[in-house]
């Protein structure tokens, strides 16, 4: 079975021209980085205290999302650096 897989890969690589770029698998991104961050999900704030709570919750949600985006960007940059693409 392994020999068939090896032959199949060799045949597929023969289909590309000399100048073509090889197909690379997507980078491994942990599943927890792809989950949404919770912001404010409560009812419409009506008092100053509720507005303050909503702003704090929304700020924490945005900070969480920005942190995850930065981590994903680092993963993508390290993958590009390893493959030599910029």
How would you write 7-53 as a 3-class SS string? HHHHHHHCCCCCCCCCCCCCCCCCHHHHCCCCCCCCCCCCCHHHHHH
Within a domain: residue 6? no
Tally the domains of the chain.
1
User: Is the model more confident about 52 or about 10?
Assistant: 52
Average model confidence (pLDDT) for the chain? 83
User: Is the model more confident about 22 or about 70?
Assistant: 70
Within a domain: residue 61? yes
Residue-wise pLDDT for 14-49, tens only, equals 666 666 676 777 888 899 998 999 999 999 999 999
Residue 61 sits in which domain range? 29-86
């Amino acid at each position: 079975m392994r020999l068939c897989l090896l032959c199949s890969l060799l045949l597929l690589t023969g289909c590309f021209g000399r100048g073509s770029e090889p197909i690379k698998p997507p980078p491994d991104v942990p599943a927890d980085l792809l989950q949404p961050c919770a912001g404010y999900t409560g009812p419409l704030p009506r008092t100053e205290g509720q507005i303050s709570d909503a702003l704090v919750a929304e700020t924490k949600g945005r900070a969480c999302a920005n942190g995850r985006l930065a981590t994903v960007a680092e993963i993508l940059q390290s993958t590009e650096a390893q493959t030599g693409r910029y």
